[in-house]
Every structure is written in structure tokens, then in C-alpha cells.
Amino acid sequence: MPRKQTPASFAPRLMKAPLAAWYLGMSETKLAELVKAGRIAQPSDEDGMVRWRIEDLDDYADNLRRRDETARVPPQLRAI
């Protein structure tokens, strides 16, 4: 019997590195590289559990430039 898959429209609000990387369509190595470079927000580290907030992952994805676009305004500056 095939295993049921979680619908793509459902994602937990907090994600461990493997799920966060999958959510963004990249490897864990690339996720770590982008976090280190400051392009993706640092994860929370509450009670020894390292997790990324879905909003932070969405901010990264929503602000990726398409090949023919100029640089977008960072989310921090959009609120000003």
C-alpha cells in the first residue's frame, strides 16, 4: 500500500534543517551556506531544538529575483 503524503499546502510553522531545506527546494548544505551569509534568517534555538520559522523561509523565497529582474527591496525596508 502506498504511503500517504502530506499535502504541499500544509507545512509546520517550525522546521528542522532537513524539512526547511526541502521546503525551499535546496540541500541542507546550501541552507546552511545561505544562513551563514545572512540571506536566510537564523533559526530559533529554544530548549535545544533548532527550528526555522516558516515566515522566514517564505521571506527568502518571496524575495528571490527572477533572471530578468533588478534587485528587490528587502522585507525589512518594505515596512518603512
pTM for the model stands at 0.71
pLDDT over 90 (residue 45): yes
In this model, does residue 15 exceed pLDDT 70?
A: yes
Contact between residue 12 and residue 54 where contact means Cβ atoms under 8 Å apart:
yes
pLDDT single digits (tens) 54-78: 999 999 999 998 887 676 666 666 6
| pLDDT number for residue 7 | 55
Element (H, E) at 52: strand 49-53
11, with CB counted inside 10 A (0-12, 13-18, 19+), is: middle
Taking the C-alpha atoms of residue 66 and residue 33, their distance in angstroms, rounded to an integer, is 20
